[in-house]
Amino acid sequence: MTTWITVCDTCKRDDWDAEKDQMTDGESLAIAVEAAAANSDVKTRRVSCLMGCNHSCNIAIQAEGKLCYTLGKFDATEESAAGIVEYAQMHADSKTGQVPFREWPKAIKGHFITRHPPLPDAE
C-alpha cells in the first residue's frame, strides 16, 4: 500500500501578503515536500484546500487500510518538509499507520490536528 502526503497548496499563513508573496505558503511547502520525498517510498500530491485554514499550512498522511492523519501549522521550510517525509515513511513502514510518539521526528511534534480510522472493509 502506498502512503501519500497530500499538501494543501492554497494554504496561507496569517502573515501572507498577496502583494509581496509570489506563491502561497502551501505552494512553497508543497515544493519542499516534493523535493524531500523525491527519493523515498512515499508519494506526494497537491490539493486545493484541506479546509484547515485556522491551522495552515496543512498536510494529510494517508494509506489504504491505515490510520490517516492531518497535520498543520507548518512553516514552508526544508526542515518541516524533511520531518513530514520522515514521518510519512514511518507511517508507510507501520502495519496500522500508527507510529510510537518517541519515534516521531521533532519537526512534526505539535503539528497533529486529527486522526481518522481507516474505512471499514465491509458494511
Which positions ≥6 away from 28 have C-beta within 8 Å? 76
Q: For residue 50, name the pLDDT band (cuts at 50, 70, 90).
A: very high
Beta bridge partners of 68: 116
Instruction: Report CA 21 to chain centroid distance, whole Å.
Output: 22
Pairing assessment for the beta strands 68-71 and 59-62 based on DSSP bridges: antiparallel
pLDDT tens by residue, 87-120:
999 999 999 999 999 999 999 999 999 999 998 8
Highest mean pLDDT among 16-30, 51-65, 79-93 belongs to 79-93
Asked whether the predicted pLDDT for residue 19 surpasses 90, the reply is no
Instruction: Report CA 62 to chain centroid distance, whole Å.
Output: 9
Rounded to the nearest integer, the mean pLDDT of the chain is 94
Global pTM? 0.94
Kindly state the average pLDDT of the residues 62-66. Answer: 96
Q: Is the alpha carbon torsion for 12, 16, 19, 25 positive or negative?
A: negative
Q: Count the neighbouring beta carbons within 10 Å of the beta carbon of residue 13.
A: 17
First vs last C-alpha separation in the chain = 22
